[in-house]
Amino acid sequence: MKAHGRVAIAHDYLTQRGGAERVVLTLMKAFPEAPVHTTLYDPDGTYPEFASADVRTSPLNRIGPLRRDHRLALPLLAPASSRLRIDADVVVASSSGWAHGFDTEARTVVYCHNPARWLYQTDEYLGGTAWRSPIGPPLMALRPFLKKWDRSRADKVDVYLANSRVVQQRIRSTYGRDAELLPPPHGMDAGAPREQLPELADWEPGYALVVSRLLPYKNVDAVIEAVRGTDRRLVVVGRGPEEARLRATLPDNVRLLGGLSDAQLRAVYADAGVLVAASHEDFGLTPLEAAAFAVPVVALRGGGFLETVLEGETGVFFDSPEPDQIATGLAISDKQDWDAARLLARAEEFGEARFIDRIRTIALEEGTGV
């Protein structure tokens, strides 16, 4: 590897446990000396591995309610991001709408999970018509300013990377930029220690599993309805704004778990019989995590799942996130003779080493003057 200057990592906010945050953990392995810059950091809400990182936050982080729910900070994030100064030679930004806008003179490589979904896919992000959501009206009022801000910041980016073909196309249509496709690693080590959950002690292995943030566009409610009134057991792992609504009518054959450690999540994956992925995703990460445990998937035919699920080999598709279609997909999966070796091989194709090697090459070798 060529000699290089100082590298910094940037990310929108470290307040959740999801695929984007796992990418940041992988970036920390690729650039172990790099500080991590972010607007908000909630140690209890995100992965514990960040506790060992040099995390540098914006002044917004002093406000507790914003750390617990970053969506409350929406009107403040553009100015906060613009003032978040990064002193480095190379910035590798993991961005879904903010980190590409942090203030720096460095060469900037943006790993784009999606051009701001709340800005360009507002209704989908809020789970319906934007005007019916509490944050919808202020977001709609701010949208002209935010679009101008977003585009001006995107124009300053040196290199765009896309996590999926869907996002690659959105980057081109939104920003007029070409982006190399670099799928993220699944980051799930099936051989690492597992911790069984007391909440599932009375359940035999073989249940259906959903691993998802509890947001409207994730369609977790449709999966619950697909198993309601049946003998099929379902485990839902996730947190988010939809949690209270889902818990209010949760049937006895569904267990909703949140805030799991990686060891607990590995145990849940290992005991699952099938994963259900019903959300609109830009990259289909959870089917790869499941495949690492030889667990097949029943997935929505669309978005990033088309890039990670091999129909008939690692999963089956349904065409619309409706309970009856999900139930039909589960019935088809039950009859399939899944090949564990093929599932494991598919997960390996998206391993962490491949990602680290490519991101280091792009950030450190392909730039000029670094």
Question: Would you say 86 and 38 are in contact if contact means Cβ atoms under 8 Å apart?
Answer: no
Residue 98: which domain range? 7-185+351-365
Dihedral, CA of residue 214, residue 218, residue 223 and residue 225, to nearest 10:
70
- CA 95 – CA 89 distance, rounded (Å): 18
pLDDT score for 141: 82
Clarify whether residues 331 and 356 are in a common domain: no
Looking at the domain assignment, is residue 60 inside a domain?
A: yes
Mean pLDDT over residues 158-169, rounded? 94
Looking at the domain assignment, is residue 216 inside a domain?
A: yes
Residue 133: pLDDT above 70? no
Dihedral, CA of residue 217, residue 222, residue 223 and residue 228, to nearest 10:
150
Percent of the chain surpassing pLDDT 90: 75
Calculate the average pLDDT of the chain. Answer: 91
Clarify whether residues 177 and 233 are in a common domain: no
Residue 129: pLDDT above 80? no
The full DSSP string for 197-254 is -GGGTTS-S-EEEEE----GGG-HHHHHHHHTTSS--EEEE--STTHHHHHHT--TTE
Per-residue confidence at 119, pLDDT binned at 50, 70, 90?
confident
- CA 337 – CA 269 distance, rounded (Å): 19
User: Encoding tokens for residue 151?
Assistant: 């585009």
Mean pLDDT over residues 295-311, rounded? 95
Total tally of structural domains belonging to the chain: 2
pLDDT score for 100: 96
Looking at the domain assignment, is residue 91 inside a domain?
A: yes
Residue 349: pLDDT above 70? yes
More confident call, 4 vs 17? 17
- CA 124 – CA 102 distance, rounded (Å): 26
CATH number, position 210? 3.40.50.2000
Global pTM exceeds 0.85? no
Mean pLDDT over residues 301-314, rounded? 94
Contacts of 86 (CB under 8 A, 6+ apart): 8, 10, 37, 102, 103, 104, 106
Clarify whether residues 169 and 68 are in a common domain: yes
Residue 370: pLDDT above 50? no
Residue 3: pLDDT above 50? no
Mean pLDDT over residues 212-232, rounded? 95
pLDDT score for 5: 79
Clarify whether residues 73 and 89 are in a common domain: yes
Looking at the domain assignment, is residue 177 inside a domain?
A: yes
